[in-house]
């Protein structure tokens, strides 16, 4: 069996090893693959492992040996699963590997915005504190989280982990979720979407990208928020209308935003959030701790083994 990894660098820039996958057959690893290179590189593959490489009817029709696609991520919108079914190709994903890391990034953004640690550390490297006449100084708002409301949209594994961390900081937690109140964790109140936007001090997005959630955070909903509110997005970029958010930040409609995902990645230079007021953008790294990536590779191996043994797991096709 020939196994081909088409964009291996994302998961493993050199601090992990794909060697364990050689137990299943001949392994070929490419750091990055352009759309024009997919067919040539995958032509002999029985199993393909991908992260962001697009696979659909065009590719499947030219890959007669292909029987398995392992998406090395939770989201699998890069694969046309309907086309995969027609060609008898099993597609799997990697669920729940980065829950704690993503929840940690939510709080990192929130603490970065409320405490401005990086800003003050950089100021003091330049001598600001040493030149100050008083024993301390601050020239930005410093915000205490205790008693503030965290509004969570989507209360799956990651949303629930964020709820626990928020409660540990003494925050009240409200959630917009399909789950009934009786199934929510203790101390989490189910609210409507409009109520969540209008009453929360922090809104954190943890919903999947589906037609109903595309552009969920738009100008109308941003206008409902408090002028002191903070928006955090570690879900998917298109859940947010980026121009509407940039306008809201620049006009002071809301206070700040912490963003780890964008509609286009990597972004163009004119991406509106890159220069928006009080907008802190990280390059889609919430998932990328060494611990989360190790779990991802473990599950990737387990998925491939289960497929080879005839009882595939985490199937999305």
Average pLDDT over residues 37-43: 98
Per the domain annotation, does 316 fall within a domain? no
Residues 34 and 141 reside in one and the same domain: no
Note down the domain range covering 245.
99-281
Indicate if 269 and 122 belong to the same structural domain.
yes
Q: What is the spatial distance between Cα 209 and Cα 181, in angstroms, rounded to a whole number? A: 24
The CA angle 92-105-148, to the nearest 5 degrees, is: 125
Tally the domains of the chain.
2
List, for residues 259-281, the tens digit of each pLDDT value: 999 999 999 989 999 999 999 99
Distance in angstroms (rounded) separating the CA atoms of residues 165 and 204: 12
Q: What is the pLDDT of residues 137-155, one digit of tens each?
A: 999 999 999 999 999 999 9
User: Has residue 93 been placed in a domain?
Assistant: yes
* Pair (12, 141) in one structural domain: no
d(CA 2, CA 143): 55
Q: What is the mean pLDDT of residues 51-57?
A: 97
Q: Specify if 317 maps to a domain.
A: no
35: Cα separation from own chain's centroid = 23
Estimate the crossing angle of helix 290-308 against helix 99-115, to 10 degrees.
160
149-153 and 172-176 as β-strands: parallel, antiparallel, unpaired?
parallel
C-alpha to C-alpha distance for 205 and 234, rounded to whole angstroms: 6
67, 284, 301, 305: the active-site residue: 284
Q: What is the pLDDT of residue 3?
A: 98
Does residue 315 sit within a domain? no
The mean pLDDT of 47-61, rounded to a whole number, is 97
Q: Do 167 and 251 belong to one domain?
A: yes
The DSSP bridge partners found for residue 231 are 203, 257
314 occurs within a structural domain: no
Query: Mean pLDDT over all residues of the chain?
Result: 97
Residue in the block written with tokens 């779990």: 295
Based on the residue annotation, tell me whether 195 is a catalytic residue of this protein. no
Q: What is the mean pLDDT of residues 149-177?
A: 98
- State the sign of the Cα–Cα–Cα–Cα dihedral 69, 78, 303, 36: positive
Out of 128, 265, 277, 291, pick the active-site residue.
265
pLDDT tens per residue across span 274-306 = 999 999 999 999 999 999 999 999 999 999 999
Same domain flag for 104 and 180: yes
pLDDT at site 256:
98
Q: 186 an active-site residue? A: no
Question: Active-site residue 236, yes or no?
Answer: yes
Shared domain for 150 and 25, answered yes or no, is no
- Domain match, 180 and 91 both: no
Note whether residue 304 is domain-resident: yes
CA distance between the termini of the chain: 21
Q: What is the CATH number of the domain that holds 74?
A: 3.40.50.720
- Position 127 scores a pLDDT of 97
Tokens 């950089």 appear where?
Answer: 122
Nearest of 212, 213, 270 to residue 236 by alpha carbon: 213
pLDDT the model gives residue 265 = 95
pLDDT at 101: 98
Residue from 169, 181, 172 nearest 152 by CA:
172
For residue 313, being part of any structural domain is answered with no
Residue 272 lies in a domain: yes
Same domain? 154 vs 294:
no
Does residue 154 sit in the same domain as residue 276? Answer: yes
73 & 112 share domain: no
Q: What is the pLDDT of residues 62-118, one digit of tens each?
A: 999 999 999 999 989 999 999 999 999 999 999 999 999 999 999 999 999 999 999
Distance CA 111, CA 188 (A): 21
Q: What is the pLDDT of residues 208-258, one digit of tens each?
A: 999 999 999 999 999 999 999 999 999 999 999 999 999 999 999 999 999
Write down the pLDDT at residue 11. 96
Q: Is 4 exposed, middle or buried (0-12, 13-18, 19+ CB in 10 A)?
A: buried
Residues 121 and 245 in one domain: yes
Q: Are residues 85 and 141 in the same domain?
A: no
pLDDT (0 to 100) of residue 48: 98
Q: Which pTM value belongs to this model?
A: 0.94
Catalytic residue, chosen from 109, 172, 236, 295, is: 236
């Amino acid at each position: 069996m020939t196994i081909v990894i088409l964009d291996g660098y994302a998961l493993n820039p050199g601090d992990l090893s794909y060697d364990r996958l050689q137990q299943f057959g001949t392994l070929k690893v490419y750091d990055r693959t352009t759309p024009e290179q997919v067919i040539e590189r995958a032509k002999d593959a029985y199993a393909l492992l991908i992260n962001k490489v697009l696979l659909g009817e065009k590719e499947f029709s030219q890959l007669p040996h292909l029987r398995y696609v392992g998406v090395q991520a939770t989201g699998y919108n890069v694969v046309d699963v309907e086309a995969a079914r027609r060609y008898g190709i099993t597609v799997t994903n990697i669920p729940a590997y980065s829950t704690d890391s993503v929840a940690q990034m939510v709080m990192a953004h929130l603490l970065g915005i409320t405490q401005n640690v990086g800003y003050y550390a950089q100021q003091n490297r330049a001598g600001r504190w040493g030149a100050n006449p008083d024993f301390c100084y601050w020239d930005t708002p410093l915000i205490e989280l205790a008693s503030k409301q965290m509004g969570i949209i989507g209360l799956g594994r990651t949303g629930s982990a964020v709820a626990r961390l928020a409660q540990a900081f003494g925050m009240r937690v409200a959630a917009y979720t399909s789950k009934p109140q009786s199934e929510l964790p203790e101390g989490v109140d189910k609210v409507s979407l409009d109520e969540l936007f209008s009453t929360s001090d922090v809104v954190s997005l943890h919903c999947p990208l589906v037609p109903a959630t595309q552009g969920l955070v738009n100008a109308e909903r941003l206008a409902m928020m408090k002028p002191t509110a903070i928006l955090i997005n570690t879900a998917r970029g298109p859940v947010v209308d980026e121009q509407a958010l940039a306008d809201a930040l620049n006009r002071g409609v809301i206070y700040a935003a912490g963003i780890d995902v964008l509609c286009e990645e990597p972004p163009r230079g004119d991406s509106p959030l890159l220069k928006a007021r009080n907008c802190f953008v990280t390059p889609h790294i919430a998932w990328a701790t060494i611990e989360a990536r190790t779990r991802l590779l473990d599950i990737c191996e387990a998925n491939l083994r289960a497929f080879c043994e005839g009882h595939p797991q985490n199937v999305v096709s």
